[in-house]
Amino acid sequence: MSPTVVLMIHAICLKCGTGKIGALAQCPKCAFKPERTEEKAKSILLSDRCARMPMLLKVGEKIARGEKLKFDEADVHKWSDTIEAAPKPVVKHMGLTRRQWTLIGVAIGAGVAFGFCLAGAMLLM
Ligand SMILES: [Zn+2]
């Protein structure tokens, strides 16, 4: 690997031990991407957030050789909890969040109601 590639590596793949740019990034070699909470937790443990890169690369070599990794259950649980507690990404519709759509709906509704009121007031006058 070239030095620039090594600099971009901040984690290793849970499945094959290949270096990748981030704990939750897709593996460039085996295309594994942590989806389940436990996989994410373990992937974070295999990133430079939790360990030094030279050590992780050694662990990566072990994974590449097919050696089974032993995770500290307490660590996995800790990260699983952290991941579960993290706010879920907001679902967006056409670039707007549900809350923004609600506000637009309220604004339009209020505008229509206001228009009716105005029309009603004019009829009364
Ligand atoms: Zn991989």
Mean predicted confidence (pLDDT) in 102-108: 71
Query: What separation in Å is there between the alpha carbon of 47 and the centre of ligand 1?
Result: 13
Say whether both 81 and 96 belong to one domain: no
DSSP structure string for 37-92: HHHHHHHHHTBTTTS-HHHHHHHHHHHHTTPPP---HHHHHHHHHHHHHSPPPPPE
d(CA 93, CA 80): 29
Distances in whole angstroms, Cα of residue 81 to Cα of each of 43, 57, 91:
14, 26, 22
Does residue 2 fall inside a structural domain?
Answer: no
Rounded distance from Cα 34 to ligand 1 centre (Å): 10
Domain residues for the domain of 75 are 10-85
Contacts of 121 (CB under 8 A, 6+ apart): none
pLDDT 10s digits, 1-27: 566 666 789 999 999 999 999 999 999
Residue 124 has pLDDT above 60, yes or no: no
Residues 64, 54 contacting (CB under 8 angstroms): no
Residue 114: pLDDT over 60: no
Residue 3 counted as domain residue: no
Contact 13, 25 (CB under 8 A): no
Same domain, 74 and 96: no
Mean pLDDT on 55-78: 94
* Among candidate residues 60, 51, 14, the one with its CA nearest the CA of residue 36: 14
Same domain, 70 and 15: yes
Question: What residues have a C-beta under 5 A from ligand 1, the ion?
Answer: 13, 15-16, 18, 27, 29-30, 32
Tell me if 18 is assigned to some domain. yes
Cα(31) to ligand 1 centroid in Å equals: 6
